[in-house]
Amino acid sequence: MISLEIDLPVFTANDVSEQMRRLVSAIKEQPEAMRFFGTFQALRADEDAQKLLSELRALQYVVRDEATYQQILQQFYSRPSAKAYQAAEQSLYDLLRAVDVIISKAAGIDFATNAKRSCCGG
30-66 confidence digits (pLDDT tens): 999 999 999 999 999 999 999 999 999 888 877 677 8
Please tell me the distance from the alpha carbon of residue 85 to that of residue 40, in angstroms, as a whole number. Answer: 6
In contact, 49 and 79? CB cutoff 8 Å: yes
Global confidence as pTM: 0.74
Q: Confidence class of residue 118 from pLDDT cuts 50, 70 and 90?
A: low
Distances (CA, A) of 109 to 15, 22, 34, 113, 114: 19, 21, 29, 9, 8
Q: Across the chain, what does the average pLDDT equal? A: 84
Q: Confidence class of residue 103 from pLDDT cuts 50, 70 and 90?
A: confident
What per-residue confidence (pLDDT) applies to 63? 62
What per-residue confidence (pLDDT) applies to 97? 92
What per-residue confidence (pLDDT) applies to 86? 96
